[in-house]
Amino acid sequence: MRLLAMIISVALTLFWCGCQTTPLESLRDPRPDGTTGIWTGQWLIYGDKLETGGGLLLFPGAENQTIDLAFRHPNKPERGNVIRYSWNGQEVTGQYAFSGVSFTVASNWRTYDITPSKDLSQGGYRKVTFKAKADLSENTSVRFEGPVTSIGVERRRSFDWDSLATSFEPHMLRTVREFFVISFHYNGNDKSGQGGTVYVDDIRLER
């Protein structure tokens, strides 16, 4: 009986795993979630962890930046993990103007050029919503951009936790390589300062 129970348990596990859709499959062809039977018109990019099935890339290089995808912010204990991304304002690959992190379809720079883009237009998504907080030094701004990187949100001063969103038309999402981008920039010609730190949580594609 114990052996039979083990065989049934393994069979059910294999069947359950075979029925689950990956996050990227849900993005290409949104359909009811295998667990709840409900698709809400949202897709989670980041909650307590990165949900894209891809990775993140620091640009134009990785120096003088840090990122933590499992940071516990003292002012938001009920939220669990948040993203903590910092730039110290110093040189990044020979320049001082900006730094950034992109949440991409690729897992690393080596595979970026050969990883196919994703067609998200079938999902009918019209915006990326997220929560953010920023501590910015003088002369530094932070930008948040969704899959359509020409449309975004910029803040030039420090701010406490706020709900933000970028917007776009669904047809603009036919060839997506980035799900979300955070970047620091110096304002104007003055390239001196301490950069900043930004905290981000609950990033979602929504209709």
Residue of higher predicted confidence among 76 and 66: 66
Q: How far is CA 195 from CA 54, 74, 128, 185, 203, in A?
A: 27, 21, 25, 8, 23
Stated pTM of the model:
0.80
Residue of higher predicted confidence among 130 and 119: 130
**pLDDT single digits (tens) 87-100:** 999 999 999 899 99
Helix (H, G, I), strand (E, B) or coil at 189: coil
- Taking every pair of Cα atoms in the chain, the longest distance, rounded to a whole number of angstroms, is 76
Per-residue pLDDT, 27? 45
What is the mean predicted confidence (pLDDT) over 146-155? 85
Mean per-residue pLDDT of the chain: 79
Please give the structure tokens belonging to residue 103.
């949440």
Strand ranges (E), 53-167: 55-59, 65-72, 81-87, 98-104, 127-136, 140-145, 152-155, 159-167
**pLDDT single digits (tens) 175-199:** 888 999 999 999 877 777 899 999 9
**Which DSSP letter does residue 114 get?**
T
pLDDT category at 2 given cuts 50, 70, 90 is very low
Whether the per-residue pLDDT at 120 is higher than 60: the answer is: yes
Residue of higher predicted confidence among 116 and 4: 116
Domain ranges of the chain: 2-206
Question: Which residues lie below 8 Å from residue 75, measured CB to CB, with a gap of 6+?
Answer: 133, 161
Percent of the chain with pLDDT strictly greater than 90:
44
For 170, left (φ over 0), alpha (ψ -120 to 50), or beta?
A: alpha
CA 75 to chain centre: 21
Per-residue pLDDT, 79? 64
Of 150, 197, 199, the C-alpha closest to 178 is 150
Helix (H, G, I), strand (E, B) or coil at 139: coil
- Quote the CA–CA distance of 115 and 118 in Å, as a whole number: 9
Per-residue pLDDT, 192? 79
Whether the per-residue pLDDT at 155 is higher than 70: the answer is: yes
Burial of 56 (0-12, 13-18, 19+ CB in 10 A): buried
pLDDT category at 77 given cuts 50, 70, 90 is low
Selection from 51-55, 74-78, 156-160 with the highest mean pLDDT: 156-160
CATH 3.40.50 for domain 2-206: no
